[in-house]
A and B are shown apart, each in its own frame.
Chain A
Amino acid sequence: MAFLEKLNLILVKMLAFVGGVFLVGMIAITCANILSRAVWVPIRGVFELMGYAGAIVAAFALGYTQIKKGNIAVDILVNRYPARLKRVIHAANSLIGLAFFLLASWQICIKANTMMATGEVTETLQVIYYPFVYGVALGCLVLALTLSTELLKSAFQREEN
């Protein structure tokens, strides 16, 4: 389990780093577009590039947000549960989330496969964009991995007790 946790942490940090780079890139490209538009002509395809970069920023932060407990939950009742029940509930949440994001990752992958096979390109720049779709699938997969380590943690805690 320690190996899985370590692997997950490395993946989460790597994706978060790439997400951060894309975030800074989004600011740079938008400002460059405003400047270029003011003095000459707008940069082509900024609209679609921003959408795809935004997808990477959000998807690559999924695991990081889960590790940092950044997702909002209504825990007013759960906080009052006994410790054992809390662990069971936490494990159930992780399991449901794991199944959901595995399904999501699988389906988004299929979507990306279809785009790659049909050679689908963006409207303005006429370039392939399926790598970004694979990126979102990867983000969901890493979140599923994070949830699986949380699930295992809950199970091991119970064994120890």
Chain B
Amino acid sequence: MSLALVGVVGILALLLILFLLGMPVGFSMGVVGFVGFCYVISFNGGLNMLSSVLWDTFSNYGLTVIPLFVFMGQIAFYSGVNEKLYNAAHKWVGQFRGGIAMATVMACAAFSAICGSNAATAATMSTVALPQMKKFKYEPKLSTGAIACGSTLGVVIPPSVVLIVIGLSTEQSIARLFYGGIGAGLLLALLLTLTVAVVCQIHKDWGPLAPKAGLAEKIKSLSGAFEMVALFCSVMIGLYFGVFTPTEAGAVGSFFAVLIGLVRRTLTWHGFKASVADTLRISCMVIMIVAGAMIFGRFLAVTRIPFDIAHWVVGLPVPHFVIMLIIFGIYLVGGAVMDALALLLITIPIFFPVAVKLGYDPLWFAVTITVITTLGAVTPPVGATTYVVAAMAEDVPLDDVFRGVAWFLPAFILCVLILMVFPQLVTYLPSLIH
């Protein structure tokens, strides 16, 4: 069997184990990569590779950024920051038609800037925003759709675990990826907010007007949310000017998040313990996927299949943007059936060299595929974020939540098209970084 064929068989075996056995993604990649490596090289070679990759991955300084940023987000979550962010957004834009849904999207964007978890944002925003929208007789499709789609911003807006992992696996600067994510995330947040406005123009009764808040009330609402937003800005500015590394930024962010929670008496001992436990669970899951992807990557590398595919694709007699659209299509479909992080780690060794060989900016490619795969978090059959919102909104059928989400899908597509036409939206800020 030729090496390329072994590589193809390995990829097919991985897909079979993933879909037919439902084995955890990190384990599947590790097992298939190990067996494939043993087949191509030798059993002893495979054993050596296994211990080296696992130790090197677990003790990788770059990966320590993951638990630190996750911890910062969990502390913000258990300190109830999301509620304050939502209240502030509600007071400022609630008086417009569909304003509370717009406020929800904005609060999701702000909270995800600190939290970085889709599911956590969806669960908490459902708790906070759904009763308010119900009170003001908002259409459930609009309210649930806004929360589900707004929650996806956590993966694009930094600090994002997905961007950290892409940065490490493609050897790109995490700080530059974070700044690239800001442009794309803000564009997506703007498009989602505009979608609410458009939907409320089409169905005028879907987003009724809420009472207007006075200026004093608006300013007062900023208290509580302001500190965490300031913390996020400080962390990003520190990264921008090279004051600290991403790992240090995560540690400083975590320290001050705890401090703010303690000073404002919003963080309890129970909340702190839960933050630590959740951080361990989430970080371990991510690092296990990275370790599995590293083992699988070693196997792919010895079969040389990523290079062969890149070489073959570049030689295809079609314009480069068509190839890129096909790759995006694969991510769109893949994102619908797999978790974004897992999909990215499996496919990056294959498609990243293709994108680079086609002459696309690696940073732009990384951020754009992140936006595309986030769409999978709200579309069936996986649509984890949608399921979380549906579970929280007990009186709204799942079908209605998906129908609500459908209104927002053009915003995602439009976002990707705009990023294709104006890649500077992603690349400009990182180009200024010190």
Q: Do A and B belong to a common assembly?
A: yes
Within 8 A of A (CB), among B21-67: 21-27, 30-31, 34, 47-48, 50-52, 54-55, 58-61, 63-64, 67
When distances are taken between beta carbons in the complex, the residues of chain B under 8 Å from A92 are 21
Select which of A30, A70, A107 is within 8 A of B248 by beta carbon: A30
Q: Do residues A136 and B55 form an inter-chain contact, with CB atoms below 8 A? A: yes
Q: Do residues A78 and B22 form an inter-chain contact, with CB atoms below 8 A? A: yes
Which of A2-10, A52-60, A152-160 sits within the interface?
A52-60
User: For the complex, is B199 an interface residue (Cβ under 8 Å from A)?
Assistant: no
Q: Could you say which interface size class chain A belongs to?
A: 35 or more
Question: What is the chain B residue whose CB lies nearest that of A31?
Answer: B255
Question: What is the chain B residue whose CB lies nearest that of A93?
Answer: B23
Number of A-B pairs, beta carbon distance below 8 Å:
172
Q: Do residues B18 and A54 form an inter-chain contact, with CB atoms below 8 A? A: no
User: For the complex, is B342 an interface residue (Cβ under 8 Å from A)?
Assistant: yes
Q: Do residues A136 and B54 form an inter-chain contact, with CB atoms below 8 A? A: yes
Question: What is the chain A residue whose CB lies nearest that of B340?
Answer: A72
Interface of B is mostly: helix
When distances are taken between beta carbons in the complex, the residues of chain B under 8 Å from A44 are none
Chain A 1-45 interface 0/1 with B at a Cβ cutoff of 8 Å (1 = within): 000000000000000100110011011001101100000000000
Q: Do residues A27 and B247 form an inter-chain contact, with CB atoms below 8 A? A: no
Q: Do residues A104 and B54 form an inter-chain contact, with CB atoms below 8 A? A: yes
User: For the complex, is A118 an interface residue (Cβ under 8 Å from B)?
Assistant: no
Which of B173-181, B278-286, B359-367 sits within the interface?
B278-286
Within 8 A of B (CB), among A74-106: 74-79, 89, 92-93, 96-97, 100, 103-104
User: A31-B255, A110-B51 are contacts. A58–B284 as well, Cβ < 8 Å?
Assistant: yes
Q: Given the complex of chains A and B, what is the CA–CA distance between A99 and B26 in angstroms?
A: 15
Q: Do residues B50 and A54 form an inter-chain contact, with CB atoms below 8 A? A: no
Q: Do residues A76 and B63 form an inter-chain contact, with CB atoms below 8 A? A: no
User: For the complex, is B206 an interface residue (Cβ under 8 Å from A)?
Assistant: no
- The CB with the most chain A CB atoms within 10 A, among B251, B289, B339, is that of B251
Q: Do residues B251 and A30 form an inter-chain contact, with CB atoms below 8 A? A: yes
Q: Do residues A78 and B21 form an inter-chain contact, with CB atoms below 8 A? A: yes
Q: Do residues A54 and B63 form an inter-chain contact, with CB atoms below 8 A? A: yes
A selection of 11 A-B contacts at a CB cut-off of 8 Å is A23-B276, A27-B68, A34-B252, A57-B67, A58-B283, A62-B288, A65-B281, A73-B23, A73-B25, A76-B382, A104-B50
Q: Which 9 pairs of residues, A with B, have the shortest CB-CB distance?
A: A78-B22, A30-B251, A71-B24, A107-B51, A61-B284, A54-B64, A61-B280, A55-B59, A55-B58
Q: A70-B284, A74-B342 are in contact. List 11 more A-B contacts (CB 8 A).
A: A19-B280, A23-B279, A26-B251, A27-B251, A50-B64, A51-B64, A61-B280, A65-B288, A72-B341, A74-B19, A76-B19
